[in-house]
């Protein structure tokens, strides 16, 4: 069967996630059709979702205005995988300390926006990420990235500079950085195809 994937596309780096999902699916022997989510009514048909980076205050506002926010909450409540990166992680968090973000409360984490500096402070770091297919460090790109100030009940998958930057909370994986900006799709694979706490339709051969 062909899996249905959605990339929340109200704002942010959408095309890169589409490519990363296709690459991760191919690596896991799964067929996938990826849609860009710009309106309500599409999320209920998705087996898994990515929520990209961008500008969290804008993404938050548009998701609520367009009626997509409750659909994403229902998706996670049904145990389906969600992968939230950078601004997506901010929107998915339980608390951001910023009243311009209406958090979806999908991960039990508190984030601090822009904790790693401004655009000019962007950097790439080799990260050890728990649960990756091999022991190779992951090339993590940080762009005006949030830090996870309190990981709550979430499992910390990676830290940088002593701070959690990748977490899993049931069906949701969140990263402060941008795995979609590198050709390495192992974290997409982890979030969608290897997360035993999330429900994905089995492949026919399984």
Q: Is 53 in the site for ligand GLN (CB under 6 A)?
A: yes
Of the residues 6, 34, 37, 54, which one makes contact with ligand GLN according to CB under 6 A: 54
Integer CA distances (angstroms), 6 to 43, 44, 108, in order: 7, 10, 23
What distance in Å separates the CA atoms of residue 93 and residue 166, rounded to the nearest whole number? 12
Q: Which is nearer to ligand GLN, 61 or 144 (CB)?
A: 144
Candidate list 17, 75, 178, 188, residue with the active-site label: 178
117 Rama class: left (phi>0) / alpha (psi -120 to 50) / beta: left
Residue 131: phi and psi, rounded to 5, are 90, 0
* Helix or strand holding residue 44 (H, E): none
Q: Which is nearer to ligand GLN, 89 or 129 (CB)?
A: 89
149 CB burial (10 A radius; 0-12, 13-18, 19+): middle
Q: Which is nearer to ligand GLN, 175 or 195 (CB)?
A: 175
Active-site annotation holds for 178: yes
Stretch that binds ligand GLN, among 20-28, 52-60, 65-73, 124-132 (CB under 6 A): 52-60
Q: Which is nearer to ligand GLN, 4 or 182 (CB)?
A: 182
**Shortest separation between residue 188's beta carbon and ligand GLN, angstroms:** 16
**Shortest separation between residue 117's beta carbon and ligand GLN, angstroms:** 10
Of the residues 75, 80, 144, 168, which one makes contact with ligand GLN according to CB under 6 A: 144
Q: Using CB under 6 A, which residues numbered 76 to 115 contact ligand GLN?
A: 86-87, 90, 113-114
Tell me whether strands 82-85 and 48-51 are parallel, antiparallel or unpaired.
Answer: parallel
Contact 63, 34 (CB under 8 A): no
Q: Can you list the positions of beta strands (E) in the chain?
A: 2-8, 31-37, 48-51, 82-85, 110-112, 123-127, 138-142, 147-150, 155-160, 163-169, 172-175
Active-site annotation holds for 86: yes
Q: Is 56 in the site for ligand GLN (CB under 6 A)?
A: yes
Residue 119: phi and psi, rounded to 5, are -50, -45
Active-site annotation holds for 194: no
Q: Which residue positions form the known binding site? A: 54-56, 113, 143-144
Residues forming the site for ligand GLN (CB under 6 A): 53-56, 86-87, 90, 113-114, 143-144
Residues acting as catalytic residues: 86, 178, 180
């Amino acid at each position: 069967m062909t899996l249905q994937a959605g990339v929340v596309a109200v704002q942010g780096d959408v095309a890169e996630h589409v490519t990363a999902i296709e690459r991760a699916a191919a690596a896991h022997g799964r067929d996938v059709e990826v849609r860009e989510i710009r309106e309500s009514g599409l999320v209920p048909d998705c087996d898994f979702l990515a929520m990209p980076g961008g500008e969290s205050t804008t993404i938050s506002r548009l998701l609520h205005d367009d009626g997509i926010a409750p659909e994403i909450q229902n998706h996670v409540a049904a145990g389906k995988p969600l992968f939230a990166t950078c601004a997506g992680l901010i929107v998915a968090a339980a608390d951001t300390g910023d009243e311009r973000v209406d958090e979806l409360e999908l991960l039990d984490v508190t984030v601090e926006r822009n904790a790693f500096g401004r655009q000019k402070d962007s950097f790439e770091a080799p990260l050890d990420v728990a649960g990756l297919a091999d022991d190779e460090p992951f090339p993590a790109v940080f762009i005006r990235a949030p830090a996870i100030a309190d990981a709550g009940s979430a499992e910390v998958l990676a830290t940088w500079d002593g701070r959690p930057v990748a977490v899993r909370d049931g069906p949701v994986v969140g990263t402060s950085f941008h795995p979609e900006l590198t050709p390495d799709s192992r974290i997409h694979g982890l979030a969608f195809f290897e997360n035993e706490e999330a429900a994905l339709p089995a492949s026919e051969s399984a």
